Amino acid sequence: MRVRKGFTLIELLVVIAIIALLMAVLMPALSRAKKQAQAVACMSRLKQWGYIWWMYTEDNDGKFNTGIGTTGGAAANDWPVVLWPYYMERGSLTVCPAAKKPHSEGVRFAFGAWSWDKAPWTGLKQKQAPDYGSYGQNEWVCYREASRLSVGRYWRTRQVKNADAIPLFFDCAWLDLYPHHTDSPSQLEEIPSSEMSLACINRHSGYINAIFLDFGTVRKVGLKQLWTFRWHREFDIYGPWTIASGVRAEDWPEWMRGFKDY
């Protein structure tokens, strides 16, 4: 009679141990690969947003949206409304691949999407559901009226010098923000404390992705680097949160200290 051979319990346990070891080695690499793929996809989407913003300004004599309005409320001139005809066929463009779920679902702050409910401004868009997104606009890039307070700070049209150093559209925890060079970073990663902290989010391993005012420059931006850009015309790029002003690594919140300094 022929004896059938099989695995012994010891051999089976050894195989399971080897598989577990391989998984432990491969999982971090797979996780890094996934994050890298999401960051690349994010930059690809921002590149498309560059075309969208260019088309909008092309159709409006080089002017950006006002961000305010006398009819329909301020939301009537926010980018989800004015750019709607340009991206309506590609709604998924509003979310970064690494931040698709809304904050209300309990995801980490940096990886959550905002919800913008148009209900109070009925008729602004031919759609019923709220908007979701994880990108935001530098609201200092707006065509503000000459009578508006601080109008001199705004980038009103696309005809500006060094446009590749002015952030336009980027990873963000809200649909827009007004950063100042005196804004402090959040002491706690999950709790924003200033306008700048809405963009200072650890979404791509110490970086966010952004497209700049020239519509063509898309690149990753270090979180500490955010304080070195000309967000508005009077923004001090050598402000208190830059190396030029003497900021030290230990001055930053603990969750940011290991990031690159600028």
Cα dist from 141 to 39, 112, 212, whole Å: 25, 24, 11
Nearest to 171 by CA among 37, 81, 43, 36: 43
Amino acid 89: pLDDT: 78
Instruction: Please state which of the ranges 29-33, 82-86, 154-158, 171-175 shows the lowest mean pLDDT.
Output: 29-33
Cα dist from 220 to 35, 202, 226, whole Å: 13, 12, 11
Task: Please indicate whether residue 120 or residue 22 has the higher confidence score (pLDDT).
Answer: 22
Q: What value does the mean pLDDT of the chain take?
A: 88
User: pLDDT at residue 1 above 60?
Assistant: no
Instruction: Please state which of the ranges 23-27, 63-67, 199-203, 223-227 shows the lowest mean pLDDT.
Output: 23-27
Instruction: Please state which of the ranges 29-43, 64-78, 134-148 shows the lowest mean pLDDT.
Output: 64-78
pTM of the predicted protein model? 0.84
Amino acid 31: pLDDT: 66
Percent of the chain with pLDDT over 70: 85
- Per-residue pLDDT tens digits for 164-179: 999 999 999 999 999 9
Percent of the chain with pLDDT over 90: 66
Boundaries of every domain in the chain: 11-256
- In sequence order, which residues have a C-beta less than 8 Å from that of residue 33 and are 6 or more positions away? none
Q: Average of pLDDT values for 241-249?
A: 96
Task: Please indicate whether residue 158 or residue 123 has the higher confidence score (pLDDT).
Answer: 158
- Per-residue pLDDT tens digits for 37-88: 899 999 999 999 999 999 999 999 999 998 775 455 567 788 998 999 999 8
